[in-house]
Amino acid sequence: MGKRRPGKPAPQKIRTLHGSFPDDELDLHGLKAFEAERRVRHFVDRWARTQPGAILRIVTGKGAGSAGTPVLRTLVLEMLNDELSAQVEDWAGDAGGGAYLVRVRG
């Protein structure tokens, strides 16, 4: 009789920010800074109003296509620390460095 190989485990979502899964994701790849700023503001505001406590993933990319410092990554970081701070309870860089995880204030 041949040996049985164990089956592969089912893929699981990676747990994020305090062990929670993201409720939604916004991908900013390919956007200009002014477009990204408007979308991030709207995205966070909508979730803060409709589902306080939600976890959001904002994908900025690592900035490899930017000349100099990463434009979108820096923009979102500044927004999280400044104008969105009243709506954001907590945030962290996502594993891999190309996104931010955000918990909207509840």
Residue-wise pLDDT for 17-29, tens only, equals 657 789 999 999 9
Residue 67 CA to residue 33 CA, distance in Å, equals: 13
**Does 3.30.1370.110 match the CATH number of domain 24-104?**
yes
56 DSSP β-pair partners: 24, 102
Say what the pLDDT of residue 97 is: 78
Q: Tell me the β-bridge partners of 103.
A: 55, 90
Return the number of other C-beta atoms located less than 10 Å from residue 91's C-beta.
Answer: 21
Report yes or no: 57 and 16 within 8 Å, Cβ to Cβ: yes
Evaluate if residue 32 carries a pLDDT over 80.
Answer: yes
- Indicate the domain borders of the chain: 24-104
